[in-house]
Amino acid sequence: MNITFIGGGNMARAIIGGLLNKGYDPDAIGVVEVVPDARERLQRELRVRAFGSPAEAAPFGNLLVMAVKPQQMRAAATQVAPHLSGQVVVSIAAGTRLTDLSRWLGGHRLLVRCMPNTPALIGAGITAACAAAGVSDAQRESAGRVLEAVGKVIWVGDEGLLDPVTAVSGSGPAYVFFFIEAMQQAATELGLSPEQARTLTLETFLGAARLAAASPEPVSVLRERVTSKGGTTEAALSSMAADHVREAVVRAIRAASERGRQLGEELGKD
């Protein structure tokens, strides 16, 4: 399968790197990158074919990945549209709705919209994807194999669910980093060195996440097992409950989801 990427930024490089690590032929991958220095680095470091415009990259092969920023998607799609010839087009741009992308691509309907997250940069991402009605099971599987180069993939049947997905997993790494910052701050204020605070906090997050992933039990049960009556964990969780931390997190994720919906409307305006 030949794949062309429109845009050679971090996420495109992550997916390409994941494909190459799995033995994918670099000659089967093309990248459109308008910045000459970045284009030269792609050729040198990843050994893929690199082009300065969609016209130079055509024909695109079996799969086309639109890996440009949401604000650039309309212009990029307009340049791509004249050169499409039955490819499945995968968009990894946040907020770009399938109906708008189809319009910008001249009515093209073989579309997959997905939302990866930044841990994809180290092959530990999670991507949610939604296929348009005209995409076959085989085409969906082909798109999924490409996205799986940087982590797990889940499919949703309703495109509207990609706004909550963006709020949970797309923006989610920032929430985790925020909590890590707070824990490190508390640790240093209590007398630990910055290095000790960082190590203790990161290893705690990594270990807890691995334990939750490996356990068949709900995380609420795991939390209860750490919480002894009258102990230190109960004191911390009681303080968080008094400050309505859970409710604040839920409100924050709802706000992110709503903002995702608004961005889709703004980006799709003519």
Q: Are residues 134 and 49 part of one domain?
A: yes
Residue 165: predicted pLDDT = 96
**pLDDT (average), residues 104-118:** 96
Is residue 269 a part of any domain in this protein? no
For the chain, the average pLDDT equals 95
Q: How far are the Cα atoms of 60, 166, 170 from residue 118, in angstroms, in the given order?
A: 26, 12, 8
User: pTM, whole model, 2 decimals?
Assistant: 0.91
What's the pLDDT at 133?
A: 93
Q: Which DSSP string corresponds to 158-209?
A: -GGGHHHHIIIIISHHHHHHHHHHHHHHHHHHTT--HHHHHHHHHHHHHHHH
Q: What is the pLDDT of residues 162-193, one digit of tens each?
A: 999 999 999 999 999 999 999 999 999 999 99
154 and 43 in a common domain: yes
We report the CATH number of the domain holding residue 222 as 1.10.3730.10
**With 80 as the cut, is the pLDDT of residue 270 above it?**
no
Instruction: Assess whether 150 and 223 both reside in one domain.
Output: no
Question: Does residue 167 fall inside a structural domain?
Answer: no
Domain that holds residue 13: 3-161
Confidence of residue 205 (pLDDT cuts 50, 70, 90): very high
Residue 7 maps to a domain: yes
Number of structural domains found in the chain: 2
Where is the domain boundary, 161, 184, 219? 161
Last residue within a domain, chosen from 114, 139, 161: 161
The residues pairing with 62 across neighbouring beta strands, listed in sequence order, are none
- pLDDT digits over 132-163, tens only? 999 999 999 999 999 999 999 999 999 999 99
